[in-house]
Amino acid sequence: MSSEFTVKIKNILLYLSLISQFQNFSLAMTQEITRSFSDSSAEKILSQMSLDEKIGQLFIVGFPQNSFDQKLKKHIQINKIGSFILFKRNITDLVSLKKLNSELVQYSVEKLSVPPLLAVDQEGGNVARIETTPKMPYFFQLGNIEDSNLIYQFGKYTAELLSSLGFNLNLAPVLDLADSTESSFISLRSFGNNPIKVSTLGYSYSKGLLDNGVIPTAKHFPGLGNSRNDPHTSFTSRNTSLNDLETFDLKPFKEFSKLGPNSAVMLSHMVYKNLDHSLKPASFSQFIIKDLLRSRLGFSGVIITDDLQMKASSLASFGPSQAALEALMAGADIVMLSWSLTDQTKAFNLVKSAVSSGKLPIALVNEKVLRILSLKKNIHQKSNLLFKKFQTDDIRVLNQVQKNIFTTKVNTALLNPELLLNSKNSKNKFCVVSNLNKIFDKFKFPNFHQFLGFKLPQNTSAEEFVSFFKKCPCEVFFLIVDNFEQVRLLNAFSPSKDKKIVVFNYTHPSALKNRDKFFNVIDFYGLASADIEALSSRLQEFSLLVSKKFKQNSFYKE
C-alpha cells in the first residue's frame, strides 16, 4: 500500500471522526436546550421570544423536499417556523423519514430554542401517509366495534408508530358524522353517523394517541357531514341549523374537549349559512371559533386551520397570506400552508406587519403562543427526542384490530337469532352464492344437508338473477359481492319478503343502494383480514352449527 494512499485513508477517517464528534456535540447541545425548554415555564419561554419567533409559532407548513437541504434551513431560519406537516412527497423510505424529522427537530431547537410540532395525516384507509402491513383500517370499519379498549389500543399503536418516526401530532381522528353508504367527501373516513358512537370511539382513539406521546387533532369542526364536495377543490356549504349541529355534529367534539388543553381541533373550510351570516368559512368565523368551539364546547386546546391553500378557504379576493391573517384574527392559533414556501414567507411578513400596526394585537398573539408552548411542553415530556425504537411485535395490535373487526362483522351476520331459528326446521336451507370457486372449498367434504352452494356465472342477466331467487329452495342466502356487475344486479333487484338475503359486500359501500331490502349487508371494503378464505372458514363453522351431516361428498354446484 502506497504512503500516499495511506495518508488519504487517514484523512478520510479523521474527517469522519470530526463529523461524528460534531454530530455528537450538536446532539448534546440539542438535548441541553430541550431540557431547558422542559424545565422552564411556558410564560418564561414566551417572555424571552422575539416578535419573529412568536409569529413563527403560529404557522404549520409543508415543503416539497424529502431531505433537509440548505433552502429549507434558510426558510426555517428566516421565518422562525414553529411546526411542520409532512406528506407522501416528503417520504422516500422510513429511514430517510426518521432522519429528516430528526434534523427538523435538531435544527429548530438549536435556532429557535423551541422544539417543533411534527404533524402527519395518519387516519387509516386511503388517508395514511405511513404505509403499514396490513394496512390500517378505515375509521368506518372501527365503527362496528363496541370495544372502547380495542379502539384505545389502536390509537396507542398509531402513536407508537408515529413517535418512532419523530411525529408528535396526528391530524386525526375524523369526528365528522358521515354515512359510509353515501357518496361524500368524508364517507369511509368517519366512524359513522351515530353521534354517541362517534363520540365514544373518537375519545378512546384520541386518548390512546395522547397517552403515548402524540397529540390528537379532531377534525373538521364543526362537522362536514355528508357533503359531497371536496374542499380541496371546490366551495362547500351546509344549511344545518345550530340546534341540529348541537344535537348531532357537535357531540363528538364536545366529548373530545374533555381531553383538555393538550389536544388540537382542526377547523373546516365549509360555510355554515345558518351560523355565520357573513358566509365566511369556519376557519374565518369568530362565532364558530370563539363562541361555539371555545365558549359553548369549552375547548381549551390549540385550534388549527386546514390548509389555507385549499380552494374552499378562498374568501373573495383573499390569497393564502390574507387568509392566514384573517384566520388568526378570527381565533385560530395555528394556520396551515402546506406547500408554497413563497406563500409562507408572504404570510409571515403580512402577519408581522399586522402585529406591528396593531391590527392583530400582540396580546392576542401572546395568548396563542402561550397555548402552543404549553402543548409542546406537555407532549415533549411524554415523547423521546431521539425517537424510541418501534417494536415490530407491535404489529400484532394492528392484526388483532383487523381480526376483531372481521369477527364482529361476521358474527353480526351469522349469529342473528332470526337466522338461527331456521335451523330448527329441516326443510329450510341456506344457500351460499358467489362467482368465486374458493368460497366453496371448505364445504366440499363433507356435505351438509341444509347448505347449498351456487356458482353465480359471469355476465348473469337481470332476468336470470331474478329467476334464480324465485326457483331456489333456500330461504336464507349468503351472497358474496366482489364486483360492480353484481352490484348492478342487486341495485335493480327486489327480493320477495320470504327470502332473507345477507350480502357480504367487498365493493365500496356507497355502490350498493337501497340496502333496506336486504336482511343484512356486511361491508368488508378495505379490510385486510376479510379475505375470501377467512369468510369461507366462518361460513363452514356456521354450517356446522346449523346442519346435519350426510355421507354424500359433493357440495359444490355449478
Active site residues: 232, 306
For residue 154, count other CB atoms closer than 10 A to its CB. 28
Q: Please say whether the dihedral angle defined by the alpha carbons of residues 507, 509, 514 and 520, taken in this order, is positive or negative.
A: positive
Residue 248's DSSP bridge partners are none
What totals of helices (H) and strands (E) does the chain contain, helices first?
19, 17
φ, ψ for residue 60, nearest 5 deg:
-120, 125
Nearest Cα neighbor of 538 from 505, 508, 504 is 504
Residue 221's DSSP bridge partners are 267
φ, ψ for residue 117, nearest 5 deg:
-85, 130
Q: Please say whether the dihedral angle defined by the alpha carbons of residues 210, 214, 215 and 216, taken in this order, is positive or negative.
A: negative
The C-alpha torsion from 29 through 33 and 39 to 40, rounded to 10°, is: 160
Give CA angle at 483 (481, 484), nearest 5°: 110
Indicate the DSSP class of residue 188.
Answer: G
Contact 454, 468 (CB under 8 A): yes
Would you call the peptide bond into 220 cis, given omega within 30 degrees of 0 as the criterion? yes
Contact 451, 543 (CB under 8 A): yes
User: Coil, helix or strand for 60?
Assistant: strand
Would you call the peptide bond into 361 cis, given omega within 30 degrees of 0 as the criterion? no
Contact 244, 222 (CB under 8 A): no
Nearest Cα neighbor of 160 from 381, 382, 402 is 382
